[in-house]
């Protein structure tokens, strides 16, 4: 699509979503890699500028945007009820969908692209990295609170918009296929990494087996709990709103916890080449555990609390498996910026898994300590 054609579709979406006021301009917004996000300005009758978010949903990733928007609509309506019940601010503490002019949650343009509008959350910022421990604590508290608010939501009403998204046994089967086919003759180069994965294959079934046996509960989960998906209030520094709800699905609370640890408590970068820099920061692990359990306010069952370390390990291992699978398949899913980028990513995840294993008893002690404190 040319720049002119893209502008035409953006304007088509703006015209069909029920934004209030006189349209002024739009600008590119955010650092996301999936959807196209724009900040749209409208002048109000009093002369003030009102901001909105406009997004084009990437329907190559989200194959059924209607299901995505049904999930988001149901969850945000429920959150508004809970927030209002507790005296909170529904305009800032959850996403607010702007309906189209014909009353729908999204607009489908003339070439089949899907667009949606949200209220812009004023005086708030999201962060891409853990710049200081207080921010990581606030993210934990906010994601825990999110889990607590949705603990009574009927999870059976949610669509699984990306099937088996955090089903680690399914991920390892895809890995085995990629390894066996070896389309790009790369398997020989990664024999150590393959061995690392296969040595841990049995563990990849633990959480799903517990779910099937009823030992873990299926819950409303965010499934992408990185720091940048929380808006922090500019004045108080408190987490106020969880954003990027496209992956809201039925899932495991321990996986939401684990993905945050994988992302935020790593002493190195996700694609770090110098593996000596990649370790689990136990201070940040403890900070996040405290905040998450405080936010959950007793809504987790004992087995979920017990399995929080396993959630961290499995989300890290799963992510590494996905990177290595993509490497074997020729780097056709994750964007790469250098040769062997996905391999570097996989190795960094596996190093973090290895360090978690060395610190396993320390991780369990932290969990047990805060379980007792917060009873």
pLDDT at 61: 79
Question: Rounded to two decimals, what is the model's pTM?
Answer: 0.92
Task: Give me the residues paired with residue 51 across strands.
Answer: 41
Sheet containing strand 124-125, strands side by side: 124-125, 230-233, 239-242
HEC per residue, 73-94 = HHHHHHHHHHHHHCCCCCCCCC
Q: How many residues in total does the chain contain?
A: 375
pLDDT at 33: 57
- Tally of helices (H runs) and strands (E runs) in the chain: 12, 11
pLDDT at 85: 95
Burial of 358 (0-12, 13-18, 19+ CB in 10 A): exposed
pLDDT at 3: 65
Rounded-to-integer distance, Cα 14 and Cα 2, Å: 18
Residue 64 contacts residue 159 (beta carbons within 8 Å): yes
* Domains defined along the chain, listed by start: 3-63+97-120 (3.30.200), 133-373 (3.90.1200.10)
Chain mean position to CA 370: 24
Under DSSP, is residue 142 helix (H, G, I), strand (E, B) or coil? helix
Provide CB contacts within 8 A for 36, sequence distance 6+: 55, 56, 58
Query: Which positions of the chain have pLDDT values less than 70?
Result: 1-6, 30-33, 375
pLDDT at 244: 93
The two three-digit tokens of residue 360, written as one number: 């396993």
- How far lies 170's CA from each of 90, 298, 353, in Å? 38, 31, 19
> pLDDT tens for residues 282-305?
999 999 999 999 999 999 999 999
């Amino acid at each position: 699509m040319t720049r002119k054609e893209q502008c035409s579709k953006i304007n088509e979406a703006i015209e069909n979503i029920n934004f209030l006021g006189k349209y002024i301009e739009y600008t590119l917004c955010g650092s996301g890699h999936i959807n196209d996000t724009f900040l749209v300005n409208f002048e109000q009758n009093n002369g003030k500028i009102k901001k909105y978010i406009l997004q084009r949903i990437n329907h190559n990733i989200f194959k059924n945007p209607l299901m995505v928007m049904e999930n988001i609509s149901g969850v945000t309506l429920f959150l508004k009820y809970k927030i209002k019940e507790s005296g909170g601010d529904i305009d800032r503490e959850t996403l607010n969908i702007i309906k189209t002019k014909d009353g729908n949650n999204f607009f489908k343009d003339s070439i089949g692209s899907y667009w949606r509008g949200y209220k812009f959350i004023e005086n708030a910022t999201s962060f891409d990295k853990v710049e200081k421990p207080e921010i990581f604590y606030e993210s934990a508290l906010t994601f825990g609170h999110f889990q607590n608010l949705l603990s009574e939501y009927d999870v059976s009403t949610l669509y699984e918009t990306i099937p088996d998204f955090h089903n680690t046994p399914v991920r390892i089967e895809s890995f085995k296929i990629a390894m066996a086919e070896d389309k790009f003759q790369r398997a020989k180069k990664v024999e150590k990494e393959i061995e690392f994965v296969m040595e841990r294959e049995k563990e990849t079934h633990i959480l799903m087996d517990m779910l099937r046996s009823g030992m873990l509960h299926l819950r409303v989960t965010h499934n992408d709990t990185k720091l940048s998906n929380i808006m922090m209030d500019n004045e108080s520094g408190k987490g106020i709103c969880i954003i990027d709800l496209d992956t809201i699905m039925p899932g495991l609370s321990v996986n939401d916890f684990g993905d945050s640890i994988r992302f935020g408590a790593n002493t190195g970068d996700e694609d770090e080449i110098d593996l000596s820099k990649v370790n689990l920061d136990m201070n940040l692990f403890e900070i996040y555990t405290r905040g998450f359990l405080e936010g959950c306010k007793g809504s987790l069952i004992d087995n979920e609390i017990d399995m929080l370390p396993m959630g961290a390990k499995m989300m890290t291992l799963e992510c590494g498996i996905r990177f290595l699978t993509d490497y074997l398949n020729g780097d056709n899913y994750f964007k790469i910026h250098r040769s062997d980028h996905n391999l570097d990513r996989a190795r960094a995840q596996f190093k973090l898994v290895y360090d978690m294993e060395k610190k396993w008893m320390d991780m369990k002690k932290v969990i047990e300590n805060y379980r007792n404190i917060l009873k």
